[in-house]
Structure 1
Amino acid sequence: MPPSSPPLRRRTTMTSGNPYRSSSATSIKGCCCCIGLLFSFLALLSLAIILIIVLAIKPKKPKFDLQQVNIQYINFVATNTIDSPPSESVSLVIQMLFTAKNDNVAGIKYRDSRFTIMYRGVPLGRGTVQGFYQAAHSLKKVKTTVSIDRVNLLQADAVDLVNDVSVNDRVALRVMGDVSAKIRIIGITSPNVQVLIDCSLVISPSKQSLVSKQCGFDGLQV
C-alpha cells in the first residue's frame, strides 16, 4: 500500500484594513483638494475683478484744505521766578475751518486727524478733527477748536507775540498735521491714503480773519 501523501495546506492571504475604508479616505482627500482649488480660483477671480474696477475708476486722493483760522481769545500772563529767566504764558482759543473735497465716484472714510499749531517753531497746542464719512462728488466743511491754556513762552517770543497781536495785528502761525482716509468701492475698503498738511499762514486777531495762506500737501495715491 503506497504511502499516503500529506494533506494540502490552503494558503490564506490576509489583508490589513478595510478596502472600502481606504477608498473612502482617498475620495475625501480628492474632494478637499477640489474645494481648495475652487476657493483659490474664486479668490483670484475676485481680486482680478477688484483690480479692474479700481483701474477703471482711477481713485484720487482726498483734497483736505485749511480755509479759515480765527483767534477767538488770547491772554498773556507774565511769570517771573528766581530760578528761571523771565517768561510769559499765553492762553489762546483758535478755531480752524477745513474743507474736504471728494472727486471720486466712491465714498471716503476719514479717520481722526490731528494738527499742531506753532508760533516761531514753538508748539502752542494741538487740534483734532473727528473722523467722518464723505459721499462721492461732495464738498464738506469741518471745524475744530484748539484751546491753548497757559503755554510758557520765553520773554523774546512772548514780546514778539504781544507786538504781533496788539501792534502789527498780524500773527504768523504754522499748522502741521496728517489726514488718513480710505476709499470705499462697492463695499470694499482700500488701503490708507495719507495726506500730509503743512500750512504757513498769517491771521489778523482784530478782524479774526485769515490774511494770507501758503499750504503744501503731500499724499500717497492708492
Structure 2
Amino acid sequence: MTTNSSHNHRYYYPTPSYRSSSSSSSSASFRGCCCCLFLLFSFLALLVLAVVLVIILAIKPKKPQFELQQVTVQSMGITTNPPSFAAPNDGSIPTATAATTVSLSLTILLLFNAVNPNKVGIKYGESRFTVMYKGIPLGKASVPGFYQEAHSKRQVQATIVVDRVNLLQADAADLIRDASVNDRVELRIFGDVGAKIRIMNFDSPSVQASVNCAIVISPRKQSLTDKRCGFDGLSV
C-alpha cells in the first residue's frame, strides 16, 4: 500500500508598512516647513535692518542739544538757629540740647534750551534735576516730557524750591561764610534726560544723557554770577 503524502507549501509575503511611510513623510514635510519659515523670517529681518540702515544714512542723525541756558534766583534766605539749652533739675549749668543750625530757603528758576538739528522729531521723557550744596541734596525739580519738531528750538523751564533745609555744624559754618563773607554760594545741579528719535510714528530705543552744572549765586544780589555746565551721554 502506497501512501501519498501531499505537502502544502504556504508562502507569506510581507505587507508594506503604510504607517511608517506616512510618518516619515509628515516629518520631512514639517522639517521643510520649518526651514521655509526660518528663511522667511531671516529674510524679513535682513530687509528691516536694511531699511533702518537706509533711513539712518538718509537722515544722518545728529546729537541734540539740551543745555542750561539761564539761572534766575527768585528768592534766597538764610536763618541761623542758635542751640537750645535745657536746665537740669539739680541747679547746675544748663547744657545745650542741639547744635547751631542754619535754615536755607531758596527758589531757583532754570531755563533750558533744547535744539533739535535733525530731520526727524525727538521725544523727550520726563527729566528730574537735583540741587546740592557740598554734597547735601537741597531740593529737586522735574521737567515734563515733550515732543520737539525737526529743525526747531525750544525753551523749557523748571523750578527748584528749597524749603527751610537745615544744615548742621561744619556745613552751616561754610554756608554762613560763603554767604556773608564771600558773597559766593556754589551749588551743583545735575539730572538725567531721556530722548527717543521718532521716525514715521515709531520711536527708537531710549537713550539717557546727564546734565551736570556748577553754578555760583550771590546772596546779596540774589543773582547768578558763574555757570559751568556739562552735557554728556546722549547719542543717536
Matched, 1:152 2:154: no
Q: Deviations over 1:22-60 (max 9, x none)?
A: 434432331232022101111122112212322332222
1:100 maps to what in 2? 114
Alpha-carbon separation, structure 2, partners of 1:28 and 1:121: 65
**Matching residue's letter, 1:42:** L
1:163 maps to what in 2? 180
1:30 maps to what in 2? 32
**Matching residue's letter, 1:157:** D
1:65-84 to 2 correspondences below 5 Å: 65-79=67-81, 80-81=83-84, 82-84=96-98
- Residue 186 of structure 1 and its aligned partner are, at CA, apart by 3.2
Alpha-carbon separation, structure 2, partners of 1:65 and 1:149: 26
Matched, 1:86 2:100: yes
- Residue 177 of structure 1 and its aligned partner are, at CA, apart by 1.9
Ranges in structure 1 where 5+ consecutive residues have no aligned partner: none
Secondary structure of 1:195's match? strand
1:173-192 to 2 correspondences below 5 Å: 173-192=187-206
- Residue 117 of structure 1 and its aligned partner are, at CA, apart by 1.3
Matched, 1:7 2:9: yes
Alpha-carbon separation, structure 2, partners of 1:196 and 1:15: 72
Aligned pairs, number:
219
CA contact (8 A) 1:109 1:182 kept: yes
Alpha-carbon separation, structure 2, partners of 1:10 and 1:67: 99
Secondary structure of 1:143's match? strand
Give the alignment partner of residue 53 of structure 2, picking from 51, 54, 68. Answer: 51
Secondary structure of 1:174's match? strand
Rg: which structure is higher?
2
Please give the TM-score of this superposition, normalised by the length of structure 2: 0.78
Alpha-carbon separation, structure 1, partners of 2:77 and 2:220: 14
1:136 maps to what in 2? 150
With over 3 angstroms needed to count, the CA separation of the structure-2 counterparts of 1:4 and 1:56, relative to structure 1, is same
CA contact (8 A) 2:179 2:219 kept: no
**Matching residue's letter, 1:56:** A
1:198 maps to what in 2? 212
With over 3 angstroms needed to count, the CA separation of the structure-2 counterparts of 1:109 and 1:59, relative to structure 1, is same
Secondary structure of 2:51's match? helix
**Matching residue's letter, 1:141:** Q
What percent of counterpart residues are identical?
Answer: 51
Ranges in structure 2 where 5+ consecutive residues have no aligned partner: 85-95
CA contact (8 A) 1:112 1:180 kept: yes
- Residue 142 of structure 1 and its aligned partner are, at CA, apart by 1.2
Q: Deviations over 1:112-169 (max 9, x none)?
A: 21212123443321211122221111111111111211211243134235427xx94x
Alpha-carbon separation, structure 1, partners of 2:218 and 2:101: 24
With over 3 angstroms needed to count, the CA separation of the structure-2 counterparts of 1:143 and 1:172, relative to structure 1, is same
With over 3 angstroms needed to count, the CA separation of the structure-2 counterparts of 1:205 and 1:163, relative to structure 1, is closer
CA contact (8 A) 1:115 1:176 kept: yes
